[in-house]
Each structure stands twice: as C-alpha cells, then as structure tokens.
Amino acid sequence: MIQPVPCSVLIVDDHPEFRSAARALLEAAGFDVVGEAGDGASALTEVARLHPRLVLLDIQLPDVDGFEVAARLADGSDPPAVVLVSARTQSSYRRRLSGAAVLGFIPKGELSGEALTALRI
C-alpha cells in the first residue's frame, strides 16, 4: 500500500513560541513543516524558495497583514493553500474572510492536525 505524501507546511507568525508549538503539533499529526517565517516579507520569500502546499498564516504580522500576504500568494503561478490563524475569533474578521483568497480560518487555540485536515487540504 502506498503511503500518502505528508502535506508540506510553512508556518508564518511573529511569535517564535507559537511557531515552535505549531511545528510540534503539526509534525506530530504527520504534516511536513518545511519552514517558518516571522513576517509577511519573509513569508513571500520562503514560499518562493520552499514551495509548500500549505501556508499557516497569522493575520497580525509586524510588516503587512496576513490578508495582504494571502492576496499576493494567490496572484502567483502555483499558489499554496492558505489557512489564516489568529488569537482573535473568526467573528473579528468575518467581513474580510468572506472575500479573502484563503482556504479557511482557525483560531490559534483550536489549531490541530484534524482542524487543518477538516479544511480539505
């Protein structure tokens, strides 16, 4: 039986502690975390370099917000799926999420491999 290829993930968040925790959680769930970035500019660079299938993207970054990063990624030739995360609730971003080029949103406190898989990545 052929084993499925793990989904490659880039984690983008300005808090190293969250990146570390998310990496451990996702790797334990079978995801292949290929890199991390701490801001929007680095995220764009790392996506071009690593070509992940999925970008786990914090909304509140120090240089440009996650919605803008997601829009720029969507304009690329082979864009990754983007899942936005935030310490805030989904209702805080309801309007912006409805028109965003993203697969979905997960509150940081609810992040899990199962939550990502449920978004049909």
Domain-located, residue 3: no
Residue 4 lies in a domain: no
Domain-located, residue 89: yes
36-68 tens-digit pLDDT: 999 999 999 999 999 999 999 999 999 999 999
- The pLDDT assigned to 79 comes to 94
The answer to the question of residue 2 being in a domain is no
CATH number for position 66? 3.40.50.2300
Cut 0.85: pTM above it = yes
Q: What is the average pLDDT value for the chain, to the nearest integer?
A: 91
Residue 79 resides in a domain: yes
Q: What is the mean pLDDT of residues 75-103?
A: 87
Long-range contacts of range 101-106, CB-CB < 8 Å, 24 or more positions apart?
Answer: 101/70, 101/71, 101/73, 101/74, 102/57, 102/70, 103/54
In a domain, 95, yes or no: yes
Decide: residue 21, CB within 10 A, 0-12 exposed, 13-18 middle, 19+ buried: middle
User: How high is the pLDDT of residue 5?
Assistant: 58
* Total domains present in the chain: 1
In a domain, 49, yes or no: yes
| Domain around 47 | 9-118
